[in-house]
Chains A and B, each alone.
Chain A
Amino acid sequence: MRLLLDLARGMLTRRLRQTLVSVTGIALGVAFFIATAAIMRGFQTYFVTQIIDVSPHITIKDETRRPFAQAAELAFPDGAVLVHGIKPRDRVRGIREPVRKVAILEAMEGVAAAPVLQGQALLRYGSRDVSAVLTGLEPERHRRVSNIEKDMISGRLEDLRRAANGIILGEALAWRLGVGMGDTLSAVAPSGTVLSMKVVGLFRTGLQGVDQGHAFALLKVAQVLADRPNVVNQILVRLADVTQAEPLARQIEARFGDRTESWEEQSANILTVFVIQNAIMFSVTGAILLVAAFGIYNVISTVVIEKTRDIAILKSLGFTEGDIQLLFLVQGIVAGLLGALVGCLLGALMIEGLALIRFGTDTPSGQGQFLLDRDFRVYLMASLFALVAAAVASVMPARRASRLDPVQVVRGAA
């Protein structure tokens, strides 16, 4: 094997410039792969953690996925009965038996649950009206399912209990209304009830939709405002293990019958965008590596043609077809390995370079720079990809070399 490596080195250095070009090709492919993966994954990871952080992992809603079964359908389950376009019966909306369901959820391991009543409210301050989503919550329970406490910039969640009708607003929402801490505004519910509420806290999550349009009050207060006493329309669930959200959501839905959405389902549109983003990234960097692989194919092919005599003499000396094939395969793999190595270094440099870039404007996340993911597995994956590409590219010329008939060559040279 040492001998084959020595021979491979001799042949590659002979075509030094060409070898360097193809090694550079591989290195660039690997480096771009690493750098783009760092940007994409950094951003995506940030986004996903933000979603996981801000929104509940599982939301149980006061809806069902399918309309309630009609009497005719129940009576003839196998019959050719089709009922659609039914006007919903007037019934009290909300999750049935919320206390029992919360208790069942809380009994599970690694699960925290909190009931809320979420509804629209018109917030009025002076002549200014802003419509907002008002969430009624129980601070003690809510703290365990949401990280909103962390995002409070003034006041605390418990302060809701201090004032008679306390309300916590998103920073941007407060700014739009023109209210500050301690100011009193009017909240008007679709039912027509009006409450005057005192601002006891402000929060900033970094997600604009939330900061501009969300407000929190006590559950009881929200129920009074909406004129829906004792009604809860969502149960928010937070898990110790986020990856369990989807299976657990299905389990809960099967058990309770209420529509239950995991965070993946709620953010499906964004996650789909990520999938497409990744596909684009992989195909672009894959194309670079593919081109680089052709470079390697080219070098090895040239070496094979140029080294016809050497191959013939090696075979006449007693090298087997396998030896010859390995000899050229090794050259491809060495080129791939060098490319991967240089590419990893270059990629790391590119990441550090990207880390220095400042955008000058505040991005919504308040970062003003690239969010970079420095995961060693990306390096590993890129290197592996480069190696495989290089090996595959050199297989064909290597086989051609191994099949060379020394008699033909020796005759031609004589």
Chain B
Amino acid sequence: MTPLLEVRNVTRRLPEGAVLVRDVSLALRAGEFMAVTGPSGSGKSSLLYLLGLLDRPSSGEVLLEGQDTARLPASDLAALRLAKLGFVFQFHFLLPEFTALDNVLIPIRRLGRLHGGAARDRAMGLLEAFGLADAHQKLPEQLSGGMRQRCAIARALANDPALILADEPTGNLDSANAAAVFDIFERLVREEGRAVVVVTHDPVLAQRATRQLRLVDGVIVEDTGRG
């Protein structure tokens, strides 16, 4: 079976010469929950952006469902991100002028697969699943930190992506909320068969993942899922 996402000998170098990620290879299958850990500046986030097609490697290949993305134009990468990937960042990045519901609706409307009532139902369903049903008409500034992050996860799931990429999603949350976010990730993996990649500093939370990847200076030093 083709892995959901595969990277082969990927290196990401800055124009100034610094190397963020060096010769990384890994394959990710559906139903995997991978935590990426490592010290600050070890290239965790850089690797995540490469996996998420937000950044292009200096050399090497990134294959999404077997398709090489290196030569695709930016607009095709955007289309892939829209339909197949979901991002969660440390900061929630909800649009401040729009309600929780409208924020979740943005990717759905952009993809255009669902319309009107169906799109709304989908967004409401996601908000309900994360305990935000009563807050759907509230603006992000009216939500608590944990609610905002759950809303951001709902938005990441809006177009039913196969892969969720999260960059320090619990960095701004207290431990209870952080645990709740990981509960959600576990559920997504176990019950819905999605793949989740989480970059985190927190070794305790990282242990909840089914696969641990440890980076130091842009090189994989440990990968429990290899082989």
**Residues on A close to B: CB < 8 A?**
2-3, 6-7, 10-11, 13-14, 309-310, 312-323, 406-407, 410-411, 413-414
Contact = CB atoms under 8 A, between A and B. Distances in A.
Q: Which of A13, A310, A323 has the most CB of B within 10 A?
A: A310
A184 B17 CA distance: 108
B78 A410 contact: no
B81 interface: yes
Interface stretch (B26-34, B90-98, B180-188, B208-216): B90-98
Nearest to B90: A414
A317 B95 contact: no
Given A313-B95, A317-B87, A413-B93, 20 more contacts: A2-B109, A3-B109, A6-B102, A309-B91, A313-B87, A317-B110, A318-B78, A318-B80, A318-B81, A318-B107, A320-B78, A322-B75, A323-B110, A406-B54, A410-B45, A410-B54, A411-B45, A413-B89, A413-B90, A414-B168
A321 B81 CA distance: 13
B58 to A, nearest CB: 14
A282 B89 CA distance: 52
B167 A318 contact: no
Nearest to A11: B97
A334 to B, nearest CB: 15
Given A2-B109, A407-B55, A411-B45, A321 B75 contact: yes
A319 B89 contact: no
A129 to B, nearest CB: 85
Contacts, number: 83
Interface string B100-123: 001000110111000000000000
B106 A414 contact: no
Interface residues of B, number: 33
Contacts of A321: 74-75, 78
A407 B165 CA distance: 14
B196 interface: no
Contacts of B93: 309-310, 312-313, 410, 413
A413 B90 CA distance: 8
Contacts of A323: 78, 110
Interface of B: 45, 49, 52, 54-55, 74-75, 78-83, 85, 87, 89-91, 93, 95-98, 102, 106-107, 109-111, 155, 167-168, 171
A10 B98 contact: yes
**Which A-B residue pairs are the 7 nearest by beta carbons?**
A318-B82, A10-B97, A313-B93, A318-B81, A320-B78, A320-B75, A3-B109
B95 A10 contact: yes
Contacts of B87: 313, 316-317
A317 B81 contact: yes
A315 B95 contact: no
Contact of A319 (B45, B78, B102): B78
A319 B102 CA distance: 16
B95 A318 contact: no
Contacts of B55: 407
22 contacts: A10-B98, A11-B97, A13-B97, A14-B97, A310-B95, A310-B96, A313-B89, A315-B78, A316-B81, A317-B107, A318-B78, A318-B80, A318-B85, A318-B111, A320-B74, A321-B74, A323-B110, A406-B54, A407-B54, A410-B45, A413-B89, A414-B90
